[in-house]
Amino acid sequence: MQAHGSQGALTGLTTDPNDASRFASCSTDRTVRVWSAANRWPISSCTLSEEAGCVDWHPRADKLAVGLINGSVLVLASDSLEPLASIKRRDESVLEVKWAPDGAHLAA
């Protein structure tokens, strides 16, 4: 398996809660990737406007939360990596994001 397939350092890793053969990663090269563990290759990827510090998969597996070093949190569709929401409430880096077990809340 590639080391995130990028020039940047791996900063986040999360598994699909409904499919153990998929996982997502983020990196300081501003990318988020969804991977196939079986094929050892990215299924999809996107480039963000800022470096990513962390990533977490929603319990229903339809969304990813990504914390950025500029203090923003993005919510991306897990299949297309299209942005669904963005919030910025701080200037410090977001180094941890976690969905509640029921998916109703997101902590950063």
From residue 74, give the alpha-carbon distance in Å to each of 2, 34, 37, 39, 96: 25, 15, 24, 27, 12
Q: What fold characterizes domain 10-96? A: Lipocalin (2.40.128)
Task: Please give the Cα distance from 47 to 101 (Å, whole number).
Answer: 28
Tens of pLDDT along 95-108? Answer: 999 999 999 999 99
pTM of the model: 0.92
Domain ranges of the chain: 10-96
Q: What is the pLDDT of residues 27-74, one digit of tens each?
A: 999 999 999 999 989 999 999 999 999 999 999 999 999 999 999 999
Say how many CA atoms lie within 13 Å of 49 toward its Cβ.
Answer: 7
Q: What are the tokens at 61? A: 């597996």
For tokens 């319990």, the residue is 59
